[in-house]
Structures are given as C-alpha cells and as structure tokens.
C-alpha cells in the first residue's frame, strides 16, 4: 500500500483537492492518505509555513499530493522539492476538444531541472542599492535531467527532445547545460535532438507550438516557459505537474492559490485531477489514469465545466460529472 501525504494548502487548493480526492476515492485505490498542513494558514497557526510534523510525515510517505500555496510558496513547495530531492519537474501541456485556445493539436511535455539555477535562492545585498544572485548549474544535475527527458521521450514514444538555454550570453552556465545535452543525446538513437535560445523558443511556442514534443531546460526557464505553454492550450486550470526524485515524488497543479476566487466554489479542478492521474501513472496504475483522463476529456468536450472554461458548474459539480463516468 502506498502512503500519500495530502496537503491542500491555501486558497483554491482546498477546493480542488476535495475534487481530486473524490475521484481517487471513487477508484478505491490502495492508498493510505495522511492529511497535513502547510502554507500561509499554517504559518499563522504554527509560526512556520512548513511545520516540522508535516515535513517529518512527508519524508515517510511515498508521494505528496499538494494543492496550492500562497505567499509562502517558496518556503513550502520549493523547500519540499529541495528536501525530497525531486530533481525533475514534469509539466505536460496539451489542447482539449471543447476548450478555446490559441492553437490546436498541441501535445508537449516540459521537463524542468528542479534543484539548482537561480532558484537556489543565493541572493545577497553587496552594497547599498546593489544586489546579486548566484546561478548554479552543475554537470551532474544537467546530465540527470537531460537523461530523464530522453527516457521520458523513449517511454512515451515521443520523437524529439529540445533543449532551451541562453548559451550565447551565459556562456559558462547555459554553455555547460547545452554541452551536456548533446553528450547525452548521442546515446539515444531514433530520438531527434535540437536546441533553441529561450527567447526565440518563447516566440515559436506562441506561433508554432506543434514543433515542440519534449522540452528540457533549467529551473527558472522551465518555470516561465511552462506557464506560457499552459496559456497556449487554454490556461493554468488545465496544467498538471509532477516533481520526481529517486525516492520521493510531489504532485501539484501548476496554478497557485488564486485567492481572488477562493471560497466561491468555481475553481477549475481539471489540473488537480490530472495531477492525481500523474501520481497514478507514477505508481503504475496506467489503466486507472487513462479512465480518469478519458472522463475528463469527455466532460470538457461536452461543456460540463466551470466558468473559466465557459461552463456553469461548481468545482465539485464538475468533479461529480467526471466521477459518474468512472
């Protein structure tokens, strides 16, 4: 039996988590769920956004199912990724029939390095009015994430892996990442390897996103470009993600706490439910994940959705429509 730490967090995190748990309970999965607290409310209650008890329980779990964090996100989800050494952040972006989007037939996966780069938080005030940040890129972490991207492409039958970088300007850090990318790419016959500067890639993603299949990039670039990809396919309400490590895994929707709609019961649960599907796949429950994904596709195509997708249903009403099809 797998032990899953459930952390709803802040804002709409609680609402979409309830929706995802409805689906998981309907599937009757052999999981032990441990409900934990973290985020803005936890900070007010315990004096720290990631309580010691939560971190202790998370370390004993096989996976974390996380909702959303507000202003304390860096102290919660970023720290959890570091504490659990979940080095690969996986963010699929695909179009859905029935969802208005800029482009159709988009189906890409962004593989983001999760442990270093500027997000290590090495920032300093070196003089009055002068600050600096240290960008850390290592061969070890670059090789690990690039290999993960190629293995994902191989496993899913994808044909191309594209590296995004800025090696023409950051010649040492991005230069190392690009060099390692092509070294690893040489080990994978039959999978095309190419690269783009990050700024050009953003333009191509807006104009011709179908040219991307698997993208692999560094931490901050991956964070930015995955939100762009979500916008291309219809919004963050459709964007799931996973953080994968050697021992632990964290599953979280890409959207944040969305305090402006929290408590209204209208949050789109799709990203959270698809995030739960990524957890199912991680544990090897492929058929169960496919059942839920097909149900989500059908409900969205028929317009039985929340207001952000043009429907009129509440969060749990949409989840119920999905659950009925299981």
Q: Which are the catalytic amino acids?
A: 119, 166, 199, 223, 227
Detail the DSSP E strand segments found in 75-234.
88-94, 107-113, 123-127, 130-133, 160-165, 192-197, 214-217
For 182-228, give the DSSP string.
HHHHTT-TTSEEEEEEHHHHHHHHHH-GGG-SEEEE-HHHHHHHHHH
Residue with tokens 């304390």, as numbered in its chain: 72
Q: Which residues lie below 8 Å from residue 54, measured CB to CB, with a gap of 6+?
A: 5, 7, 36, 37, 38, 42
How many Cβ atoms from other residues are within 10 Å of residue 183's Cβ? 13
Distance between CA 241 and CA 161 in Å, rounded? 18
Length of the chain: 326
133-159 burial, b if ≥16 CB within 10 A, otherwise e?
Answer: eebebeeebbebbbbbbbebbeeeebe
What are φ and ψ of residue 314, in 5° steps? -80, 170
Distance between CA 242 and CA 255 in Å, rounded? 13
């Amino acid at each position: 039996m797998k032990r899953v730490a459930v952390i709803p967090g802040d804002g709409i995190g609680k609402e979409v988590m309830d929706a995802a748990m409805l689906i998981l309970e309907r599937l009757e999965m052999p999981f032990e769920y441990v409900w934990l607290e973290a985020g803005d409310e936890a900070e007010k209650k315990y004096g720290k956004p990631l309580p010691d008890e939560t971190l202790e329980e998370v370390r004993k779990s096989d996976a974390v199912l996380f909702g959303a964090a507000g202003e304390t996100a860096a102290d919660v989800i970023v720290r959890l990724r570091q504490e659990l050494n979940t080095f690969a952040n996986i963010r699929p972006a695909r179009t859905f029939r029935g969802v208005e989007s800029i482009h159709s037939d988009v189906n890409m996966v962004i593989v983001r390095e999760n442990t270093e780069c500027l997000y290590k938080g090495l920032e300093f005030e070196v003089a009055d009015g002068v600050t600096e940040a240290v960008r850390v890129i290592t061969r070890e972490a670059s090789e690990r994430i690039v290999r993960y991207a190629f293995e994902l492409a191989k496993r899913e039958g994808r044909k191309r892996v594209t590296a995004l970088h800025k090696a023409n300007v950051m010649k040492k850090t991005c230069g190392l990442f690009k060099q390692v990318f092509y070294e690893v790419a040489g080990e994978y016959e039959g999978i095309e390897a190419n690269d783009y500067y990050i700024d050009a890639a953003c333009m191509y993603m807006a104009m011709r996103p179908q040219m991307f299949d698997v993208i692999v990039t560094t931490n901050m670039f991956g964070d930015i470009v995955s939100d762009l990809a979500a916008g291309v396919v219809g919004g963050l309400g459709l964007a799931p993600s996973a953080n994968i490590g050697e021992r632990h895994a964290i599953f979280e929707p890409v959207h944040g706490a969305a305090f402006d709609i929290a408590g209204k019961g209208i949050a789109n649960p799709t990203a959270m439910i698809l995030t739960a599907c990524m957890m199912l796949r991680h544990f090897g429950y492929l058929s169960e994940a496919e059942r839920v994904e097909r149900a989500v596709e059908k409900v969205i195509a028929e317009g039985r959705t929340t207001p952000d997708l043009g429907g009129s249903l509440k969060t749990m009403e949409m989840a119920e429509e999905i659950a009925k099809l299981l």
